[in-house]
Amino acid sequence: MNELIILVLAIAGLLFVMRRESGAKATVALLVVVSIVGFIADAEVMGVLLLIGAAVTALAGIPGLRKAWLTPRIFAFFKKAAPKVSATERTALEAGTVGWDGELFTGRPQWKSLLASPLGELPPEEQAFIDNQCSVAASMCNAWDIAVERADLPPELWDYLKKERFFGMIIPKEYGGLGLSTRAQSLVLQKLSVNETLMTTVGVPNSLGPGELLLKYGTQEQKDHYLPRLADGRDIPCFGLTGPRAGSDATSLPDTGIVCKGEFEGKEVLGLRLNFEKRWITLAPIATVVGLAFRMFDPDGLLGEEKDLGITCALVPRNTKGMEIGRRHWPIGSPFLNGPIVGKDVFIPLDWIIGGPKMAGEGWRMLVECLSVGRSVTLPSGASGSGRYMLGMAGGFTRIRRQFNVPVAEMEGVQEPLARIAAKAYIAQASVIQTANMIDNGEKPAVPSAILKSQLTEFQRDMAMDAMDVHGGRTVTLGPRNYLGIGFSATAVSITVEGANILTRNLMIFGQGAIRCHPYVLEELAAKDDNDIEAFDRAFFAHARLIFGNFARAFTQAFGIGAGNLPFDHIAAPYAKAVTRFSAAFGLCADAAMASVGSDLKKRELLSARLGDVLSNLYMGSMVLKQWQESRAAMGETALFQYSMTLLLNRAEEALQEFLANLPNRPLAWALRLSVMPTGRHWKRPADVLTHEIARAISTDTPLRTKLTENTWNTAEPGQKNNPLARYNALLKDYPRAEKLYHTVNKAYAKGQLPADALHPEKRVIAAREADIINADDADFMATFEAEVLDMLTVDDFPFDGIAYDKDKVNWHGTQEKETGNKPTAQKSDGKSGKTAKA
Ligand SMILES: Cc1cc2nc3c(=O)[nH]c(=O)nc-3n(C[C@H](O)[C@H](O)[C@H](O)COP(=O)(O)OP(=O)(O)OC[C@H]3O[C@@H](n4cnc5c(N)ncnc54)[C@H](O)[C@@H]3O)c2cc1C
């Protein structure tokens, strides 16, 4: 019995010192003290074992001894086992900064550091741009006209975008751009995501491309020439990296630039002969300047010794001889301008390399360094913005659509997807805005950019599917009145571009993140490369302390012990504690995976992806917590916050469980399970009561709905019909009065007080007025309300040949001509009202 008590005492003490990473001295002291207590209490066996433990720890902890004997052996083994980091990977590892992602790797995230930079008010000038110019641009979009009839934005919208310098959001004011903060850029793109073609057209030139590359690396001459022209749209840029043979593996591009002499403006100059084939290049069909990535060679040694200089980026004006440009691809769901570019023996002077000849071979580094910011903003903002539009539409539609005599929003089956949409939009908004704020504070978040891009575009696709489902046939039927269907099919584009999601999730988040964000691995690898045993000793033993610390923290926190006082209110604190606990569990599992799977971990993508999922959900959860802590909660927001955090923690826990179930080293997996999930799983899916509350809040006129749709295009001039969100908002304002009247009228009908054939709501209202069951004012109100409801429920129909692309191929089946006597004309939208008209 005494032996057992001493063992428990020793374990408790060890957990305590390990949690604090107190080091070898404290551990030795603890073991010696407990072993003495063991000898006094006649527990000699435990006493001896603890003394042996103390001796071993002392051996490892005495720097002289450790460095002379232990470290060289570990270092020799590490050199053999550690993964080789290729030059391409090294470039990726060195790009960007490590922030909150790194904190999550430590297992003891410092919440105060996250909360240290709260979101302030947006400067009035930026807010005014979002309120005014963005609303005007949004109001100039007609989805059907853009996607089907014109396959482009209308010319007046192009002019407006150029005039208001939408293409120069990232370009500083001194060059004629808007110089917006990252947060404002995100809000602009969110508002413009009311139309996917508009959002892409504005997003792409402000993301990774000539503008950003010039700003960071351009020569002064290049900046002075191009930036003002890009800012006001005189020049339209595109960036060509991808080709038929190089997609995800972009560094394998076979396009070449050979250093040679050639004629330029009547003189012989040193330059490059380019041969390339690019595809899927956004804005290429109308681009006036092409940013081009190619592999540069100097076979004749005209520049120096090096023959293969590597990937290089240059700016090539559209009219350069030998370049074929102008054809179009047809991206699914959204006809934003996108096409191939082919170049045959295109000669350019060396000065056209971005940054000049000195930047030859620096192209990949430039691209990767820039990727972290653009990838954190453009597509994630599109996902968040479109999610918030979907929430507004889905909430509005399900409230006004009545079946079985009640709004479908009252049906639990419909409430489930409604709540999911709301939560994913909420999480997306918190993640993207908080990350944009970090960028404004100087960070270039590399791993979070991969998290946001892949997770939020997946959310976007999920939200679009849920929004489509709750609309039933209303959005399955294509036509000018369908405000969701076109965007729904375009979600595939966001999934694929800027690093396809499968690759991003499986390879980039953890595969690169493990080395990038880990507090010690990068140092250990650098020490290996430099053969620096001192540096290795420092990093390795700090790493060892971290592993023991994470083990102790994950285990004790699984029992609710030791997360400490976290700087959150009583609603958020339990979730912050859970994120802290899973952070320790994640840190421990990440180390275990790296140690047991070694360099093969890159290939074991299923394992990497699950660890990436744990990190992603913890990152997004942290952003939601920060948003909650620093903003004023709207009435009803608590349920949405709790739902969102529960969803993320459930997903994190599930990913952790699946990782443990599939780790090849089974004894290690069992030991890990015992330490990180000693009492099994805790985070169930969000409770039904939360689902009911959220669904009601977003399908009625509540402060929460208003907050969630802030900074969207939700305004309409009187009588203006082309903004479905504004129309739903207006209907929801009137809904409480309508609901009472529905109740009164339907009750009267059920009692037989109204004629049996008063089946239409309109007829029933008239009958109720005639029977003096409702007053004239209410009857008028209901007539107007019902007319608007019916208009919002209406879908388009077309002449028989209206939807055939090739009218000559229409099969009239004999019947149509018989009925109409002549060929129906093609349907055409009037481009404004969303109604259809004959051409
Ligand atoms: C509409 C559109 C616009 C675009 N705009 C531009 C542009 O302006 N400029 C430009 O340069 N490019 C552009 N692209 C190219 C885009 O970036 C690529 O499509 C993208 O990088 C993926 O390449 P891929 O389509 O060839 O897929 P592939 O590389 O053929 O990949 C096929 C599948 O395999 C997966 N995969 C590949 N490697 C791995 C791996 N190691 N682990 C796990 N999964 C993997 C991918 O995730 C994908 O699911 C655009 C593409 C489209 C469709």
Pairing of β 836-838 and β 827-829: antiparallel
Each residue's pLDDT tens digit, 182-227: 999 999 999 999 999 999 999 999 987 899 999 999 999 999 999 9
Cβ atoms < 10 Å from Cβ of 758? 19
Q: Please report whether residue 666 resides in a domain.
A: yes
Each residue's pLDDT tens digit, 720-751: 788 999 999 999 999 999 999 999 999 999 99
Q: Whose CA is nearest to atom 24 of ligand 1?
A: 247
**Catalytic: which of 21, 196, 498, 786?**
498
Kindly tell me if the per-residue pLDDT of 256 is higher than 70: yes
Within this chain, do residues 524 and 671 fall inside the same structural domain, yes or no?
A: yes
pLDDT in the model for residue 56: 80
- Please identify, by atom number, the ligand 1 atom nearest to the C-alpha of residue 246: 26
pLDDT in the model for residue 397: 98
- Please identify, by atom number, the ligand 1 atom nearest to the C-alpha of residue 250: 21
Kindly tell me if the per-residue pLDDT of 259 is higher than 80: yes
Q: Please report whether residue 543 resides in a domain.
A: yes
Q: Say which residues have a Cβ less than 8 Å from residue 632's Cβ, sequence separation at least 6.
A: none
Q: Say which residues have a Cβ less than 8 Å from residue 619's Cβ, sequence separation at least 6.
A: 100, 101, 104, 431, 448, 451
Residue of 563, 568, 575, 589 lying closest to 617 (CA atoms): 575
Within this chain, do residues 645 and 737 fall inside the same structural domain, yes or no?
A: no
- What SS3 class is residue 794? coil
| Cβ of residue 502 lying under 6 Å from some atom of ligand 1 | yes
Each residue's pLDDT tens digit, 454-468: 999 999 999 999 999
- What SS3 class is residue 273? strand
The whole-angstrom separation of Cα 287 and Cα 275 is 19
337 contacts 327 by C-beta, under 8 angstroms: no
The whole-angstrom separation of Cα 21 and Cα 736 is 59
The whole-angstrom separation of Cα 839 and Cα 830 is 9
* Both tokens assigned to 357: 């000849």
* Both tokens assigned to 53: 């433990």
Q: Please report whether residue 344 resides in a domain.
A: no
| Cβ of residue 742 lying under 6 Å from some atom of ligand 1 | no
Q: Identify whether 121 is a catalytic site residue.
A: no
The whole-angstrom separation of Cα 177 and Cα 164 is 9
Last residue of a domain, one of 636, 666, 684: 684
* Both tokens assigned to 549: 């610390």
Within this chain, do residues 660 and 774 fall inside the same structural domain, yes or no?
A: no
Q: Whose CA is nearest to atom 40 of ligand 1?
A: 503
- Please identify, by atom number, the ligand 1 atom nearest to the C-alpha of residue 498: 17
Cβ atoms < 10 Å from Cβ of 371? 23
Own/partner long-range contacts of 3-9 (Cβ < 8 Å, ≥24 apart): 3/38, 3/43, 3/45, 3/46, 5/41, 5/43, 6/34, 6/37, 6/38, 6/41, 6/43, 6/46, 6/47, 6/50, 7/46, 9/34, 9/37
Cβ atoms < 10 Å from Cβ of 111? 21
pLDDT in the model for residue 693: 98
Q: Say which residues have a Cβ less than 8 Å from residue 690's Cβ, sequence separation at least 6.
A: 419, 639, 640, 642, 643, 646
* Whole-angstrom Cα Rg for the chain: 31
The identity of residue 609, as a single letter, is A
Within this chain, do residues 660 and 539 fall inside the same structural domain, yes or no?
A: yes
Q: Which residue has the higher pLDDT, 740 or 17?
A: 740
Q: Whose CA is nearest to atom 19 of ligand 1?
A: 497
Q: Say which residues have a Cβ less than 8 Å from residue 129's Cβ, sequence separation at least 6.
A: 178, 180, 184, 188
Kindly tell me if the per-residue pLDDT of 595 is higher than 70: yes
The whole-angstrom separation of Cα 415 and Cα 395 is 10
| Cβ of residue 217 lying under 6 Å from some atom of ligand 1 | no
Residue of 162, 283, 284, 183 lying closest to 230 (CA atoms): 162
Tokens 């047809």 — which residue?
330
Distances (CA, A) of 178 to 126, 156, 166, 171, 194: 9, 20, 8, 6, 22
Within this chain, do residues 565 and 616 fall inside the same structural domain, yes or no?
A: yes
pLDDT in the model for residue 68: 83
Last residue of a domain, one of 34, 61, 88: 61
| Cβ of residue 282 lying under 6 Å from some atom of ligand 1 | yes
The whole-angstrom separation of Cα 677 and Cα 681 is 7
Q: Please report whether residue 330 resides in a domain.
A: no
| Cβ of residue 185 lying under 6 Å from some atom of ligand 1 | no
Distance 495 CA to ligand 1 centre (A): 9
- Please identify, by atom number, the ligand 1 atom nearest to the C-alpha of residue 282: 8
Q: Please report whether residue 608 resides in a domain.
A: yes
Of 12-26, 94-108, 470-484, 581-595, least confident by mean pLDDT is 12-26
The whole-angstrom separation of Cα 496 and Cα 473 is 28
DSSP code for 653 = H
Site to probe by mutation for ligand 1, drawn from 89, 248, 278 as the one with most ligand atoms within 8 Å of Cβ, is 248
Question: pLDDT grade, residue 826 (50/70/90)?
Answer: very low
Kindly tell me if the per-residue pLDDT of 827 is higher than 60: no
Kindly tell me if the per-residue pLDDT of 280 is higher than 80: yes
| Cβ of residue 383 lying under 6 Å from some atom of ligand 1 | no
Distance 247 CA to ligand 1 centre (A): 5
* Both tokens assigned to 221: 């001459």
Nearest 10 degrees: CA dihedral of 688, 455, 421, 118?
90
Distances (CA, A) of 765 to 582, 751, 790: 58, 15, 14
* Both tokens assigned to 140: 């100039």
Q: Please report whether residue 800 resides in a domain.
A: no
697 contacts 705 by C-beta, under 8 angstroms: yes
Can you tell me the mean pLDDT for 373-396?
Answer: 96
Question: pLDDT grade, residue 829 (50/70/90)?
Answer: very low
The whole-angstrom separation of Cα 816 and Cα 810 is 11
| CATH code of residue 562 | 1.20.140
| Cβ of residue 506 lying under 6 Å from some atom of ligand 1 | yes
Each residue's pLDDT tens digit, 239-255: 999 999 999 999 999 99
Kindly tell me if the per-residue pLDDT of 819 is higher than 70: no
344 contacts 258 by C-beta, under 8 angstroms: no
Phi-psi region of 719 (alpha: psi -120 to 50; beta: other; left: phi over 0): left
Within this chain, do residues 528 and 579 fall inside the same structural domain, yes or no?
A: yes
Distance 688 CA to ligand 1 centre (A): 39
805 contacts 330 by C-beta, under 8 angstroms: no
Within this chain, do residues 623 and 746 fall inside the same structural domain, yes or no?
A: no
The structure's pTM equals 0.93
Q: Whose CA is nearest to atom 45 of ligand 1?
A: 503
pLDDT in the model for residue 817: 61
Distance 61 CA to ligand 1 centre (A): 50
Each residue's pLDDT tens digit, 45-56: 888 888 888 888
* Host domain of residue 781: 724-793
Domain count, the chain: 4
Nearest 10 degrees: CA dihedral of 534, 535, 541, 544?
-150
pLDDT in the model for residue 373: 86
The whole-angstrom separation of Cα 644 and Cα 549 is 29
Can you tell me the mean pLDDT for 406-419?
Answer: 98
Kindly tell me if the per-residue pLDDT of 797 is higher than 60: yes
H helices of 132-284, in order, are 133-139, 143-144, 155-163, 182-192, 196-203, 210-217, 220-231
Can you tell me the mean pLDDT for 166-182?
Answer: 97
Within this chain, do residues 556 and 592 fall inside the same structural domain, yes or no?
A: yes
Within this chain, do residues 535 and 667 fall inside the same structural domain, yes or no?
A: yes
* Both tokens assigned to 567: 């700087």
The whole-angstrom separation of Cα 755 and Cα 767 is 7
Q: Please report whether residue 827 resides in a domain.
A: yes
| Cβ of residue 574 lying under 6 Å from some atom of ligand 1 | no
The whole-angstrom separation of Cα 644 and Cα 450 is 21
Phi-psi region of 107 (alpha: psi -120 to 50; beta: other; left: phi over 0): left
Pairing of β 289-297 and β 267-282: unpaired
Q: Say which residues have a Cβ less than 8 Å from residue 599's Cβ, sequence separation at least 6.
A: 81, 82, 83, 84
Q: Please report whether residue 802 resides in a domain.
A: no
Within this chain, do residues 549 and 663 fall inside the same structural domain, yes or no?
A: yes
The whole-angstrom separation of Cα 81 and Cα 740 is 73
Question: pLDDT grade, residue 839 (50/70/90)?
Answer: very low
Question: pLDDT grade, residue 60 (50/70/90)?
Answer: confident
Nearest 10 degrees: CA dihedral of 695, 701, 705, 709?
130
Cβ atoms < 10 Å from Cβ of 304? 10
Of 41-55, 83-97, 743-757, 764-778, least confident by mean pLDDT is 83-97
| Cβ of residue 241 lying under 6 Å from some atom of ligand 1 | yes
Which helix (H) or strand (E) element contains residue 837? strand 836-838
> Nearest 5 degrees, angle CA 728-CA 705-CA 795?
25
Pairing of β 256-264 and β 289-297: parallel
Distances (CA, A) of 665 to 130, 217, 638: 54, 47, 42
Within this chain, do residues 811 and 789 fall inside the same structural domain, yes or no?
A: no
Within this chain, do residues 547 and 662 fall inside the same structural domain, yes or no?
A: yes
